[in-house]
Amino acid sequence: MRVKVISRSTDEFTRERSQDLQRVFRNFDPNLRPQEKAVEYVRALNAAKLEKIFARPFVGAMDGHIDAVSCMAKNPNHLKGIFSGSMDGDVRLWDLATRRTVRQFPGHQGAVRGLTVSTDGQILVSCGTDCTLRLWKVPVDTIMESDDGSDNSSQPLAVHVWKNAFWGVDHQWDGDLFATAGAQVDIWNHNRSQPVNSFEWGKDTVTSIRFNPGEPNLLATSASDRSISIYDLRLSTPARKVIMRTKTNSIAWNPMEPMNFTAANDDGSCYSYDVRKLNEAKCVHKDHVSSVMDIDYSPTGREFVTGSYDRSVRIFQYNGGHSREMYHTKRMQRVFCVKFSCDASYIISGSDDTNLRLWKAKASEQLGVILPREKKKHEYLEAVKNRYKHLSEIKRIIRHRHLPKPIYKATKQIREITDSERRKEERRKAHSAPGSIQNKPLRTRRIVKEVE
């Protein structure tokens, strides 16, 4: 007689040490799990709810300025240092880890309008409405680490007095030149007291300026005549210009796709352009209810952050029409400048209430050291949420944001105005001769003309 027995070796399921994980044997045959999709849906629903529960984006505020924060700059060679300038002429270097002032740079007699750091992280350039341009030596990392606050002020390496007020400054991503915006665009060298080149297109003030991250000789500017201009340092004249219906306050280039840039506009929207085709916006990013004052791209190039006059900070996908996240506090006033940290984990905002605020880029992200098992669990829940995000219940939970009452009312009013204009346009078209009225797409509606 033959007898069949089930036998297994103890070596296959016995742990060698008490700290080892218990081995689990699984059969992945889908026929054994008829409820698998239902179980995953419940996990996705719970993950979406837990994300809302653990959403605590505000990390802390940095207090020290005595007037509104007007501009900020990152140090490309130091992860946790950020520079800020205020309306009273004060320039400070902050340590984001301890949220305290490391160094002050006194000297400006008026509002500081622009800050930028050289490619090697050694020189800080500041400019303002007092018509002066100041070059400072950036303190070394050892000073950043020390707690000695006895002498925390610096003297400028050079002071250049110019005939016009400055409204912005930016340094080449790779090179020794930096550009200032004011009555005209001036190109400067670290070793000269006069501009090495100047560009002028019209008589209006240039309000913001940004160098291209991929092509060092290309820069974009916005001016008070509602124009966005592209300049090439290798040419003697400006290259191209596009005029919009409302003024552009700031510009940011996509660091991963250097042919694209996004403009923050006075009409509460941001417009992404391809520099090779300026007669049409690639994408229109809407959600703010007031002027967008500043914009900055994440180092990954997948999203950007905006700060607005409506006292809120929003995060957009680079190709998304609406924001994925919105940050606000009761005390935060009009936001004048925003920056992504160099590791894309944090956002820094500077506002009218003299404070810099530190936010998490992902509101529910866990800070500190994460164990490998925790990391795997987070990744699994993220994947499950992404798989079922189109279903109504999960979509509603993920999209929901609590808005301050003024923003909620303004959004409702803007929606009513937009719907009214759309109905009016449809009626006008219905009572006109066929083909006499052409609908302009949203991406070209706000553009007046392109000049070359």
Note the pLDDT of residue 452.
81
Note the pLDDT of residue 144.
59
Residue segments in the chain with a per-residue pLDDT below the cut of 50: 150
Sorted by where each starts, the structural domains of the chain and their CATH numbers stand as 35-55+370-428 (no CATH), 58-369 (2.130.10.10)
326, 314 in Cβ contact below 8 A?
Answer: yes
- The side-by-side arrangement of strands in the sheet containing 168-171 is 168-171, 177-181, 185-189, 197-199
Note the pLDDT of residue 212.
95
- Residue carrying the six token digits 């085709």: 277
- Residue carrying the six token digits 């290259």: 239
Note the pLDDT of residue 409.
96
DSSP codes of every residue in 85-147 = EETTS-EEEEETTTTEEEEE----SS-EEEEEE-TTS-EEEEEETTSEEEEEEPPPHHHHH--
Tokens of 315: 């995060």
Note the pLDDT of residue 281.
94
- What's the pTM value of the predicted model, to 2 decimals? 0.89
